[in-house]
Every structure is written in structure tokens, then in C-alpha cells.
Amino acid sequence: MMRVVWVLLLVFCLVAAYHSWLHREMSRPAGILAAEEPLQGSAASLSDIQKDEFRIKPLATFDIKARVILAKRYWFGQGSGLAPVDLALGWGPMSDSNILQHFKFSQSDRFYFWSTKSFPVSRGVIESHTANMHMIPANDEIEDVLKAVRPGNIVHVKGYLVEAFAPNGWRWRSSLSRTDTGRGACEIIWVESIEVN
């Protein structure tokens, strides 16, 4: 019995080590790597989308090129079946390694957090050039790409900011602002396409 426990423990450790290696941060040179501001447009002409039991209502078109600061998988909770991956993204000055080296970042419970001992840029710049974004893949291929994204990747994501509804009354609405903070400030993106570099 003890031998089985040790074998299982070894397998778990090997899988964890491989997962950690697979998702290790990519080193990037200094300088702004994603200069453009995210683009948001009208979704008035778009119809609702059905994904499994969820009804997805497009609120705005969305196009963002950004640096991945953190990536986190979710397996539990109602939103995990819909959006299995969160990406904490930075653009403009928050895509620059010279700036990011002054910060500690973490993700938990569908939020991301940052701290710094010095402010290389203002709080306003930090809050308007980073965001935790919940990614809803439009298909299995996009889901596989999202699950393989690593910190340090540059991603170009196109799709819609959405509100999601479940039959039990649960709902999840995207922020439509890049300057809000706290609960409700995350973007929820229906991902139609993603490029990763």
C-alpha cells in the first residue's frame, strides 16, 4: 500500500514539475512590446451565441494586443466550464520589462493583484494598462491555444466583450472600461481568434 502511495506521489510531482516548466515565463527584452490601446466597438448588430448551457450576449467588439503577465487555469466554479483560462494582460508601458521588474503579480479567485515598493509609473497608468481577462474560447482549437499561453507571450486577441447567462439565473457581465478596478472590473472575452508570439 505504501508503495502505491509513493508511486502516486512521484507521478503527481512529475506532472506538477512538467506543468510548471511548460508554463514558465518567457524572457523579454526591455522596451514596450504592445504599444497599441485595446480597440472596442459597437456590437449592436450581433446576435446572441449559445455555448453549451450558456447564452452569450455580445456587448462590444474587442481587439487587444498585449503582453501576458500571468495565466491561470480554472477547473471549479460555474464560470470555469465557460472560461477555463484567465490572462492578466499588460499593454503600453505595462508591457515593458523595465517597468514590470518592479512589480509582484498574482492571480486568485478570478482576480489579479499587484504590489510594488516603488512606482516606476503612476497608479493610474498601472490600472488603465493592465487587466485580468476571462477568456471564453469560441472553439476547441482556441481553447487549446489559450491553455498553452505562457507569461511573457505577446497575444493578439479578437472577439467580443460579453455577458453570459446560465439557466439557473447565474450571470456574468464584462467590464466595458479599461479604467475601472475591483469587483466587476474584469473583461470577459468571447475569443474568436488568438495569435501568440
pLDDT for 28: 62
pLDDT for 26: 62
Render 113-170 in DSSP notation, one character per residue. EEEESS-SS-HHHHHHSEEEEEEEESSHHHHHHHHH--TT-EEEEEEEEEEEE-TTS-
The set of cell numbers assigned to 119 is 512606482
pLDDT for 6: 57
* Cα angle 30-62-38, degrees, rounded to a multiple of 5: 30
Range of the domain at 160: 28-196
Q: Per the domain annotation, does 154 fall within a domain? A: yes
Task: State residue 142 phi and psi, 5-degree precision.
Answer: -65, -35
Task: State residue 132 phi and psi, 5-degree precision.
Answer: -95, 120
Q: Per the domain annotation, does 1 fall within a domain? A: no
Q: Per the domain annotation, does 18 fall within a domain? A: no
pTM (2 d.p.):
0.86
Q: Per the domain annotation, does 19 fall within a domain? A: no
- What is the tally of structural domains in the chain? 1
pLDDT for 158: 98
Over its length of 197 residues, how does the chain's per-residue pLDDT go in tens digits?
666 555 556 555 444 444 444 444 666 667 888 899 999 999 999 999 999 999 999 999 999 999 999 999 999 887 888 999 999 999 999 999 999 999 999 998 999 999 999 999 999 999 999 999 999 999 999 999 999 999 999 999 999 999 999 999 999 999 999 888 888 889 999 999 999 99
Helix, strand, coil share (%) of the chain residues, nearest 5: 25, 40, 35
Four-residue CA torsion sign, 133, 139, 140, 144: negative
Q: Per the domain annotation, does 10 fall within a domain? A: no
Q: Per the domain annotation, does 15 fall within a domain? A: no
Q: Per the domain annotation, does 4 fall within a domain? A: no
